[in-house]
Amino acid sequence: MVRKVISENTSAKVRYTLESVVANGTGRNAYIANYRVGGKTGTAQKVEDGKYLVGNYITSFMGFLPADDPEVVVYIAIDNAKGVTQYGGTIAAPIAKNVLNAAISALEIEERYDGMTKEYNYGDKRYYTLANVVGMEVKEAIANLKPFKVEFSGSGNKVIYQSPTANTYLQEGEVVRLMLGG
């Protein structure tokens, strides 16, 4: 038997708040464009013999999606990560993002466009959807691929093939290879 412990209204407010943690808070590294992801980061300093240990933390991230009607929940905890800034948002959230992306693929969860939009800060990695430039003149193709590094092969003035294919989601600065012909 499942017992109702909070109201639907309270649950909706909490899920909305946790979605904002991922879109614009400490959980930003778990953000997945076109999917509603909610979550909470955690950073706990460890204790031994009643004293806090210096530089020894458990970092964590609990995430779920879709934020408004969860199908997947993930919890990642990392004990005493070495060589990095020890915060849940910097260590555990990116791992959770990878797990959530795998769940999206495995469960065939549909993209949605009604979630919160991530507001980028200085230094954040930006991602873009790759345009279809096949058939375009080289100059036009380059203009459409501004966020990416473009490499060419072949000769000619028209794009006859591109890799990766159109609509792939890529990080700014990644390489897009164009084959020229015609």
How confident is the model at residue 108, as a pLDDT?
93
pLDDT of 120 higher than 90:
no
Where residue 15 falls among pLDDT bands split at 50, 70, 90?
very high
How far apart, in whole angstroms, are the C-alpha atoms of residue 120 and residue 118? 6
Q: What share of the chain is helix, strand, coil (3-state, %, to 5)?
A: 25, 35, 40
Within 8 A by CB and 6+ apart from 118, the residues are 23, 24, 28, 31, 33, 124
Q: Which domains does the chain have, with CATH numbers?
A: 8-107 (3.40.710.10), 127-181 (3.30.10.20)
Contact 180, 154 (CB under 8 A): yes
How confident is the model at residue 115, as a pLDDT?
85
Query: Does 128 or 20 have the greater pLDDT score?
Result: 20
Q: Smallest Cα–Cα separation from 42: which of 95, 86, 97?
A: 86
The pTM for the full model equals: 0.68
Q: What single letter denotes the amino acid at residue 138? A: V
